[in-house]
Structure 1
Amino acid sequence: MTHTTQRVDDFGITLPITQAACKMAEKFAHQQPNSAKAEQVRLNTLAVWVVNEYLQFMEIPTNLKVSDSWNPIMQLCSNVADLEITSVGRLECRPVKLNEQACLIPPETWEDRIGYVVVQVDESLREAHILGFMRSVNNEFLPLHQLQPLEALIDRIAQLQASPAKALVNLSQWFIGQVDAGWQTVEALRELLDSRPNYAFRGSVTTEESFQSQTTKRAKLIDLGIQIAHQPLMLIVEISPEENQTSIRLQLHPTANQVYLPEGVKLTVLDESGAVFLEAQARSADNYIQLQFRGDIQEQFSVVISLDDMSVREQFII
């Protein structure tokens, strides 16, 4: 315990737990089926809230609402305490109690994280100590004496912010025939799938000739991995010019001889800040789902296809 206290004094930071934080934690806790799960969600929520307050103070933009830790379904099904840092990734904020010498890092949080912050929550729930940072883990218990100073977290975020972003798919270029790698016409992709019986496309998609000549449509296979093994989905992006804007229609279709989409698969549009703009979710007998919107030239957005804890993101600029 002495060693842990030494590290807090050396490079940790203490922040008050606000009434708003307590109210939100209690709200989430009351939605849980038993007292143990309620306590887990309560502490996770407080840890995320405190780290969010710290990053806001450091003028690092975050988005609580798109974090799994703020999703009631994910709270119930998983032990997650993630915080979405805008245009950077997800930071896991793990709580520990006073006198604990190691922090639990659930295996479901070992991937898709830019790092881990450990937060010691006071028993009175009046203050919390952000103890330190770890870039990666491969064990369920992280000894607190291994934590790095919070400066390492700030450096990590700055590094990721400065690194080259994933190439944006430029939709305006599609109008002049310049199409990004991986995107094909619906007809070409359908022929490719039909030539591979295990992946045959059975959906019904209207061809481009049925629309105005300026409409452009391209498709790409989306693989969500083991959740729907050997069943890639087809994402179709259709664009057409309008006065000072571009009309965009997204469709998600099944392949692999499947008539319907996997129940629960989501098609989500995020705006430039990472906030959810539009979302559709497949029901038990949907053979496709669709979203339609308009955007300005040079406007950026992301499309996320997700099922349970698996997701694929495509980034676009109009």
Structure 2
Amino acid sequence: MTNNSQDSTSLPLPISQSARRTAQQFASEQPNPDKRQQVQQNTLAVSVVNDYLQLMGIETDLETADSWRSIPRLCADVADLKLPGLGRLECRPVSEQAQVCTVPADVWNDFAQSDRIGYVFVQIAESLQWASILGFIRTVSTEQIAFHRLQSPEELLDYLHELRQPLIRLSQWMQGAIETGWQTVESLLSGSPAVSFRQSDATTGNIVRQAKRIDLGIRLQTHPIALIVEIQPGTDQQMDILIQIRPLTGLLPPDLQLLVLDAANEQFLEARSRSADAYIQLQFSGDLGEQFKVSVALEDAEITEAFLI
């Protein structure tokens, strides 16, 4: 039943009898046939995503979603699912004949996107017996989304896992409150080549540097590495930040990728190791209260750390 372009990654799932009853009930409350059809399809899409996430052990809260409240259902084209502690997933229905995914302006304007963590697209069979989760996209800026832009349902689970990572609060480092797993650069890199940082700042007395061993599994068994973060208060409520990757022994493996992602998970900066690099680094400034992520990847192995300035 799914669009051919998504057959390899889409996830077919049955639509429960309970979901069909709820969709019929919500639809019957609407004033005209078009609105009844919209609410029925939205409710089924939300139910399918809710069932899938619960099956995967991810907590959801249908009752506080706008899609489960009568007035928002009547006044807007909403199909949101609340994930406690994370935000809302917008679950958009897609017909079997559709050539693209459609997102109404109600749920991709700046206000709506402020608490939406992603958009999941669900193809609903005409029989209402089956559905297929086609994939998801993190943010939208247009009403139509091509199928090829969607990430897979499996990648959705990885994304939600990333979002649940506790934030590393850099401003608290300045008060000496360091999260478990981080240690001084000297203690982690003892016996390694001398560590090079911004020498012009080294005597100011308000620089904090912490390091953490990064485990990328079998990919780096012979190349253990450290993630080093250096922070220094800047001007106008900003913080200067240096991110560095160093080997614990020898040199970095080639093609090791270091990324900085912004709060919308868009790539902001990138560095990649060459054949004989002793380190790679990225430097930037951010506002207090701003979030970002650091991703370290080699081939298909990746680890991400989330930070709050």
TM-score normalised over the length of structure 2: 0.51
Q: Does the 8 Å CA contact 1:185/1:218 hold for their aligned counterparts?
A: yes
Name stretches of at least 5 consecutive residues in structure 2 with no aligned partner: 2-13, 16-40, 45-93, 110-115, 124-131, 136-145
SS in 1 for 2:174: helix
Q: Is contact 1:203-1:287 (8 Å) kept?
A: no
* Equivalent pair of 1:270/1:277 in contact (CA under 8 Å): yes
**Aligned: 1:306 with 2:305:** no
The separation in 1 between residues aligned to 2:204 and 2:213, in whole angstroms, is 25
Query: In the alignment, what sits opposite 1:13?
Result: 95
Q: For the residues of structure 2 that align with 1:274 and 1:164, how far apart are their CA atoms?
A: 10
Distance 1:173 1:185 in 2: 15
- Code of the residue aligned with 2:224 in structure 1: it is P
Aligned length: 193
Give the residue type in structure 1 aligned to 2:134.
Answer: V
**Structure 1 residue 206: deviation in Å?**
4.8
Taking structure 1 as reference, are residues 164 and 316 closer, same or farther at Cα in structure 2, changes over 3 Å only? closer
Distance 1:233 1:164, change over 3 A: closer
Q: Is the 8 A contact 2:208 2:232 kept in 1?
A: yes
Q: Does 1:172 align with 2:171?
A: yes
Q: How does 1:122-271 map to 2 (within 5 A)?
A: 165-191=164-190, 194=191, 201-202=192-193, 204-206=195-197, 210-244=202-236, 245-255=238-248, 257-258=249-250, 260-271=251-262
> Contact 1:300/1:316 (CA < 8 Å) preserved in 2?
yes
Corresponding letter in the other structure for 2:241: I
In the TM superposition, residue 14 of structure 1 has moved relative to its aligned partner by 3.5
Change (3 A) 1:203 1:223: farther
Shift of 1:166: 1.6
TM score, norm. by length of structure 1: 0.50
Tell me which residue corresponds to 1:293: 284
Alpha carbons 1:223, 1:231 under 8 Å: kept: no
Q: What residue in structure 2 maps to residue 59 of structure 1?
A: 107
- What SS does the aligned partner of 2:263 have? coil
Percent of aligned positions that are identical: 35
CA offsets 1:49-100 (integer angstroms, 9 cap, x no match): x35x45x778379xxxxxxxxxxxxxxxxxxxxxxxx8569x8999xxxxxx
Structure 1 portions without partners, runs of 5+: 2-6, 18-49, 62-85, 95-114, 119-127, 137-152, 195-200
Residue of structure 2 in register with 1:144 after alignment: none
